[in-house]
Each structure stands twice: as C-alpha cells, then as structure tokens.
Structure 1
C-alpha cells in the first residue's frame, strides 16, 4: 500500500482522484461522490484535506469498516516535526 505526505494528498482534489485523510488512512472518494448519503458537496469541500474530525463527528466505526477497504489507497506518511 502506498504512503502519502499531506502535501501529496492535497494535490488530489478533482473528479478523477479525490483524496481525504481519516486518522492515518488515505481514501480516494472520487468514485463515491454520487453514493455519499450526505451529498457530494461535503466530500468536495474536504478534498485533499484531513477529514478525521468531521468524519468521526457524523459517522461510526461501522461506516469506515464497510466502505473503507474499497476506498483506501494508502496511509499517511510520518513527517518530521521541526
């Protein structure tokens, strides 16, 4: 599985590849826009960003267990803290 920096995730925010971060996982939600019960707008707003706080505010663990495996493209790379 690939590892991505936050800067790399931030580059993926269009209809072809739309990455979001949840915890340390990176998910491509581009193919899920039409299926998202909350609408595509919120996913587009979070594209390329860390959506952890917003995700857990509205979803339980079962949602990530159900959809996560199909959408996960990698993990967040540990970055040096300067």
Structure 2
C-alpha cells in the first residue's frame, strides 16, 4: 500500500469505471467499490472523484470514519510534485 500517485494520476480516476480515486489529507482512496455503500449516496462521491475531497470529507465525518474504512480503501499517497 505504499504506492504514490501524482495529482494528475488521481484526476484520471474520476469515474466509477476508471476506479474513482479521491484524496483525503494526502492519502489516496479507491472508492469505486464503496460508492453503493456510502451512506450519503453515490452522487457525492462521484462529484469529488479524481479530486482532493479533504474539505468535504471533514465537514461531514470524524476521524473514526477514516480509521474504519482506510484499511479497505486506502491505496497510497500523493507524491510530492516539483514546483517550477
């Protein structure tokens, strides 16, 4: 689970068919298998697919939710990208 992704790579996974990745606090989560289980509905996850969803996540969840689902959904982290 030590894979590293660029934000561009995450952005390419912005639909359920592409894997539906989201970023929360620098960690990358693969959400396509969780879309139908999400208590808030699939629409919300699809809206943030391929993006950093940290702000939206923390608005509605606490740390216990992340601890519960991270082992199943976390696939890596965001790679530091060189800034020009």
Helix, strand or coil: the match of 2:36? coil
Displacement after TM superposition at 1:15 (Å): 1.7
Identify unmatched segments of 5+ residues in structure 1. Answer: none
Identify unmatched segments of 5+ residues in structure 2. Answer: none
Which segments of structure 1 move beyond 6 Å, counting only runs of 4 or more? none
TM-score using structure 2 length: 0.93
Matched with 2:59 is 57
Which structure has greater helix proportion? Answer: 1
Number of positions where the alignment pairs a residue of Structure 1 with one of Structure 2: 82
Matched with 1:34 is 36
Distance in 2, Cα, partners of 1:76 & 1:62: 22
